[in-house]
Copies of this chain bind each other. A is one copy, B any other.
Amino acid sequence: MATLRLALAQVNPTVGDIPGNAALVRRWTRAAAGSGAHLVAFPEMMLTGYPVEDLIYRESFVAASRAALDALAAGLAEDGLGDLPVIVGYLDSDGPARIRADATPGRGPRNAAAVLHGGAVVARYFKHHLPNYGVFDEDRYFVPGADLTVVRVGGVDVALTICEDIWQAGGPFAVAREAGVGLVVNINGSPYELDKDDVRLPLVQRRAAEAGATVAYVNMIGGQDELVFDGDSMIVAADGTLLARAPQFTETMLIHDLDVPTGEADPRPVEGAMGVVRAHVSDRLTPLDPAGLAGGVVERCTAAEEIWRALVLGLHDYVEKNGFSSVVLGLSGGIDSAVVATIAVDALGPQRVTGVSMPSEYSSEHSRDDAADLAKRQGLDYRVQPIAPMVDAFLANLTLSGLAVENLQARVRGITLMALSNQEGHLVLTTGNKSELAVGYSTLYGDSVGGFNPIKDVPKTLVWKLARWRNEEALRRGETPPIPENSISKPPSAELRPGQLDSDSLPDYDVLDAILAGYVDGDLGRDGLVAAGHDPAVVDRTLRLVDIAEYKRRQSAPGPKISIKAFGRDRRLPITNRFRERDS
């Protein structure tokens, strides 16, 4: 047995910012060394950020990742950190990417992990199980690895695995047991999802049992376009005991002393589904420093707090990683824009948030008051810009009625926000919730205008819950509740015609959200929804709305594809991407 001090660096890389990500590794490795760690592990694709999507097709990007890995190994040694083995995720390749049927079997881009030691790369591992569902498209981008890599660190055999490897039984963890390892390190780019917490811990426990070894799970944090990585790094013993767990949504290092068996002097060969490649770093561990521990099991957030923090971090990182200085949004006095403004102020501070009230002749007095009240509570930059003169100019020159007039008002507001964005450099925030997006209860190029929507995936009923939770949280902290009670309690209205209410056009949001959860998230058909107890007439009406709305979300007009790479269907690039062919 040996006592190995393990450091898990739960950090926040940025897609494409290879130099910045490498600098993060150097900074946190120095901290790990200062804490007396024997081994430090960074997340999946740490050097490139994750997910890189179609960037893998660019040879210059792959070359930059590989070169940065070698330079990082050398840089760590220059920093005097060459003795501390570092596990880091990066993009590797041993063949061309597959863009047509004629790929080279078994070769191509690799989702890889390396062990850096003594100024060099001493071991590499290629991810074996590639996820290709939900937000993942890794069969498209990567070729799976066939060998498990085992590195001896201070006499302890450590197996390297990456993310999806832990989600499937009978893969690298089973081979790790055959290889008799003392520790399996699993590096992750695992996005936040409602209630995912409840899934991860039992999963790590199952895999620890399968490997018969301690499992260290390290995940990144941070926002990357639509994804939010929540960290939740943890260490679980072979018997399932949760030894340490990091807080979510926070850049931190989890450090824990592990009592793990040392490897045999002459390990037996393994016959299994994968080959085993062994590498050697050291046979003895340096003596333990009594200081430097930062472990323990952190208590979980409540459900509402967890979601709120995901939304705040997602917005914060979208703004910061894309280099925006400030945001602007329309403040209607309603609940959606109130919640988005509050998320923005929590993420960026009130000095970087501008709220614009854009009343029309149909805007109620209380709407304007509620918007002003919210702005005052939060101290954000508040402006009033009536839209009547612009709306009237259109009405005087075009013959419009009904829905065309309703949409016109929303579009004049959209233009106004975009004009402020162009003039003053703000990012426009969109404020439509998931329920209204689903049923198309919004105006294309109107209230759907904007570069980022913090509540795009938040159903209306959850918007209300989050607002109440945030106000209660303020009271718990002895602060003024940021959201006016009236914005939470009044019946929702688009205020595009006299006396209009959402309930004129839509089922009650409780009913609507339950049907949408079944239809959108659960892929239930009409009969399945009715069997689940929903009113058939309401189901039919809702499904019709959703089916009609589907195409409205695709605001970037499709067009016939004639080339190898049309913009649209077959070009999938991260929006947040700091990779530049030239640094100039």
Q: Which residues of A contact B (CB under 8 A)?
A: 57-61, 63, 98-103, 129, 131-135, 137, 139-140, 164, 167-168, 191-194, 223, 225-228, 307, 310-311, 313-315, 318, 322, 385-386, 389-390, 392-394, 396-401, 403-404, 407-408, 411-412, 414-416, 418-420, 422-423, 430, 434, 437-438, 444-445, 448-458, 520-521, 523-528, 540, 543-544, 547, 550-551, 553-571, 573, 575, 577, 580-582, 584
Q: Are A550 and B575 in contact (CB under 8 A)?
A: yes
* Complex-state Cα separation, A528 to B553, whole angstroms: 37
Q: Are A390 and B385 in contact (CB under 8 A)?
A: no
Q: Are B444 and A418 in contact (CB under 8 A)?
A: yes
Q: Are B571 and A520 in contact (CB under 8 A)?
A: yes
- Complex interface: chain B residues within 8 A of A557 (CB): 430, 448, 450-453, 456
* Complex-state Cα separation, A168 to B105, whole angstroms: 11
Q: Are A521 and B575 in contact (CB under 8 A)?
A: no
Q: Which of B131, B139, B194, B390 contacts A563 (CB 8 A)?
A: B194
Q: Are A59 and B228 in contact (CB under 8 A)?
A: no
Q: Are B422 and A394 in contact (CB under 8 A)?
A: no
Closest residue to A225 on the B side, CB-wise? B558
Beyond the given pairs A60-B526, A407-B418, 17 more chain A to chain B contacts, judged by CB atoms under 8 angstroms and listed by A's residue number, are A63-B525, A101-B129, A132-B132, A135-B561, A137-B140, A193-B564, A307-B562, A314-B560, A386-B397, A398-B419, A415-B415, A418-B444, A448-B556, A451-B557, A457-B559, A520-B571, A521-B564
- Complex interface: chain B residues within 8 A of A448 (CB): 556-557
Q: Are A582 and B540 in contact (CB under 8 A)?
A: yes
Output the least CB separation between A384 and chain B (Å). 11
Q: Are A454 and B560 in contact (CB under 8 A)?
A: yes
Q: Which of B318, B397, B525 contacts A385 (CB 8 A)?
A: B397
Closest residue to A64 on the B side, CB-wise? B525
Closest residue to A433 on the B side, CB-wise? B559
Q: Which of B99, B226, B419, B553 contacts A134 (CB 8 A)?
A: B99
27 contacts between A and B (CB under 8 A): A132-B139, A132-B140, A133-B140, A192-B562, A226-B558, A226-B559, A226-B560, A227-B561, A310-B560, A385-B397, A390-B393, A394-B416, A398-B416, A398-B419, A400-B423, A404-B422, A438-B567, A448-B556, A451-B551, A456-B558, A456-B559, A456-B560, A456-B567, A457-B566, A521-B565, A526-B582, A554-B556
Q: Are B527 and A60 in contact (CB under 8 A)?
A: yes
Say whether, besides A101-B133, A390-B397, A400-B419, A562 and B526 are in contact (CB < 8 Å).
no
Output the least CB separation between A65 and chain B (Å). 13
- Complex interface: chain B residues within 8 A of A450 (CB): 557
Closest residue to A391 on the B side, CB-wise? B393
Say whether, besides A57-B523, A226-B568, A575 and B551 are in contact (CB < 8 Å).
yes
Output the least CB separation between A92 and chain B (Å). 17
